[in-house]
Amino acid sequence: MPFEIYSSILIKKEPDLSPAELNTISNAKIPTQDTIFLIDKNGKIPVTVLTGSSAVYFDELLRKYETHCALTEREFLELLSENLTPIHRKLFAKRIAVRRGIERHSFDNGRDYSIKYDIWREGNLFYKKIFDDRLSSRLKNEAHSLKYMHEKNIGITPGFINYDAKKGMLCCEYIEGLTLPSLLNESLQDRYDISEQIISSYQKLHEISLLHGDVSVNNIIVEASGKIFLIDFEWARLNSEIEDLDIEVTKEENPVATLFYCPPDIANAWLKRKKIKRTVQSELYSVASLIYHFLTKTPLVDPLEYLVQKEYLKNITTGPSHSSLDRLKQLENRKLVDWIKSNLMHNFS
């Protein structure tokens, strides 16, 4: 049988690192150039650092995993050179190995490479299979959300193909493009155009009573033509009751999947250990916070505070600072600025 992994490790290079991760790494005096970081998705701290020849060997090892995905580990080890064996052992000790050809565009184009799912591409189709039954409700959420949006023909997500609950496998349309972190150096006008499309996409989503639940720079893909797509609907929520649409995640693991864009009402509820109730307005706050970050290249809340989650959440509950809002004055697109401000300054009573 092919060997498998069960992990929430992200594989990142320097352009993929968040400001908080960069701060942590800088404080530890770890070089970032030509370095590969294996990062715990929950703790956001580097758990392994590969530099120099180790980083080069690791890149080669990923290709080997993909090419020889059907082998047992023993058969696989027989193929490896002396240089690759220690790297494989290190990854396997942390349960980070690839069972099947995981699509490496995530790694090459500067996106998070998460190994909680087996992900691969076949032509124009994209497959996602869970490694752990505990993730089944989240994959079901994504499948049912994509199917619902596909039927509504709103054109803001990859097209739904099919979902096999027994195998824990989702198949949808493959979208070729880049996520927002790879587009931060595009012209401001291009980022204005992308931001306006993001707002429009979320408005279309909310019009059919669906909440995305995970607003993140990594969950928006921009095609070469400039068209955007929303992806990763594991945390989707219904804003109202819709017949025959089975979408429900029973356990909240975090107040919001991407803490940078957490709205004040969610942060406050989480700090007080109250039931979290997501709304259209709280999601629009997250979208406004994301666009603020994308246009100004600075997170709304000081990323240094991200290292202490409780303090970070407290800062979010007070709303954006005057200095943060003043930063919007540098932007010439007043319509977009007004939209961002109105959603960031919403009173969550």
Query: What is the arithmetic mean of pLDDT over 269-295?
Result: 90
3 Cα distance to chain centroid: 26
pLDDT at 284 > cutoff 90: yes
Q: For residue range 107-140, what is the model confidence (pLDDT) as tens digits?
A: 333 334 444 666 777 888 888 888 667 778 888 8
Structure confidence by residue, pLDDT tens digits, 146-186: 999 999 999 999 999 999 998 889 999 999 888 888 888 89
Higher pLDDT, 256 or 72: 72
Using CA atoms of 28, 33, 104, 114 in order, give the dihedral in degrees to the nearest 10: 10
How is residue 328 written in tokens? 């919007």
CB 129 within 8 A of CB 168: yes
Per-residue pLDDT at 108: 37
Q: Are 124 and 174 within 8 A, CB to CB?
A: yes
- The stretch 295-312 carries a mean pLDDT of 71
What would the pLDDT profile of 239-258 be if each residue is shown by its tens digit? 655 444 454 444 444 545 56
Give, to the nearest 10 degrees, the angle between helix 309-317 and helix 264-271: 130
Q: How many CA atoms lie within 13 A of 124 on its CB side?
A: 5
pTM higher than 0.75, yes or no? no
CA 128 vs CA 88, 139, 161, 165, 279: distances in Å: 24, 8, 12, 12, 28
189-246 residue pLDDT tens: 999 999 999 999 999 999 999 999 889 888 999 998 999 999 989 888 876 554 444 5
The pLDDT assigned to 286 comes to 95
Residue 139 half-sphere exposure toward CB, CA atoms < 13 A:
25
pLDDT at 283 over 80: yes
Residue 2 reports pLDDT greater than 70: no
Q: Where are the domains of the chain?
A: 9-108, 178-344
User: Is the pLDDT at 102 greater than 50, yes or no?
Assistant: no
* Percent of the chain with pLDDT strictly greater than 70: 74
Q: In the CATH hierarchy, which fold is given to the domain comprising 178-344? A: Transferase(Phosphotransferase); domain 1 (1.10.510)
